[in-house]
Amino acid sequence: MARSKQYQQSKKWERACLDTRRSLGSRKKRLAKFRISSGLKVLDLGCGDGLNTNILFEQTRNIVGVDISGDLIKIARMKNPRVKFYIGTAEKIPLRANQFDVVLVDSVFHHILDYKKAVGEIKRVLISGGVLCFIEPDNSLIRRFIDYLCTLKVSKYMPILNKRRITYLEEKDLMEHWLGTKNEFLNVLKKYNFRKIFLNNDFLSIIGKYKVKK
């Protein structure tokens, strides 16, 4: 079981998470928005079992993944033995400074209570002018509504919500914390000298690309 200082991620959550994630097609579309050119050196931070890592591997062979979960890293390594995957946390990335052109963070910041530390670490491993690309839950009415449905017992019997319900209920406190401090997160980026290239939302998520100046 993965451990972090703030909370313990359960195997139940990890399994449900693998079952409920976005399709490959929708991921490819989202990742394309970041326009990550071939040859750039990329870190997929909080890579899970490496789904995004493998999509980007087709574009740039120069990619590594880091995740807090030993179990998920094991799966990632099996799926793509050509990529280097490391067990580690976003708050203390086990890699040397000033080496990446891009750090991708897909649905991970909301798991980290102390995301300031993670932002500092991302800045450390990026080169000056490197970019942070992230996708995280948005504090939108539609998300709030779906989350609310997940808290109702009846959602157990609704196939569309049942799996999502498991992940939501497991990470409810973290999600609430994240949604409540999303604007603070954007200020933290500013404080660490990340400048916005774009910040969009698609009802459920925010999708951002920020460039760092060191």
Ligand X SMILES: C[S@@+](CC[C@H](N)C(=O)[O-])C[C@H]1O[C@@H](n2cnc3c(N)ncnc32)[C@H](O)[C@@H]1O
Q: Which x/- pattern over 107-146 shows residues binding ligand X (rule: CB under 6 A)?
A: xx--xx----------------------------------
* Nearest distance from C-beta of residue 30 to ligand X, angstroms: 10
How many of the other CB atoms lie within 10 Å of CB of 43?
Answer: 25
| Residue number, 68 or 212, with CB nearest to ligand X | 68
**Contacting residue, 16, 41, 43, 48, with ligand X by CB under 6 A:** 48
Do 42 and 36 touch, CB atoms closer than 8 A? yes
* Nearest distance from C-beta of residue 159 to ligand X, angstroms: 21
Q: Closest-CB residue for ligand X?
A: 48
| Residue number, 118 or 161, with CB nearest to ligand X | 118
Between residue 20 and residue 39, which ones bind ligand X under the rule CB under 6 A?
Answer: 21
Can residue 106 be called a binding residue for ligand X (CB under 6 A)? yes
Between residue 51 and residue 90, which ones bind ligand X under the rule CB under 6 A?
Answer: 51-52, 67-69, 72, 89-90
* Nearest distance from C-beta of residue 67 to ligand X, angstroms: 5
| Sign of the four-CA dihedral 185, 15, 78, 53 | negative
* Nearest distance from C-beta of residue 68 to ligand X, angstroms: 4
* Nearest distance from C-beta of residue 48 to ligand X, angstroms: 3
CA distance 32 to 1: 32
Q: Is 85 exposed, middle or buried (0-12, 13-18, 19+ CB in 10 A)?
A: buried
CA distance 37 to 39: 6
Can residue 2 be called a binding residue for ligand X (CB under 6 A)? yes
Residues contributing to the site for ligand X (CB under 6 A): 2, 4, 9, 17, 21, 46-48, 51-52, 67-69, 72, 89-91, 106-108, 111-112
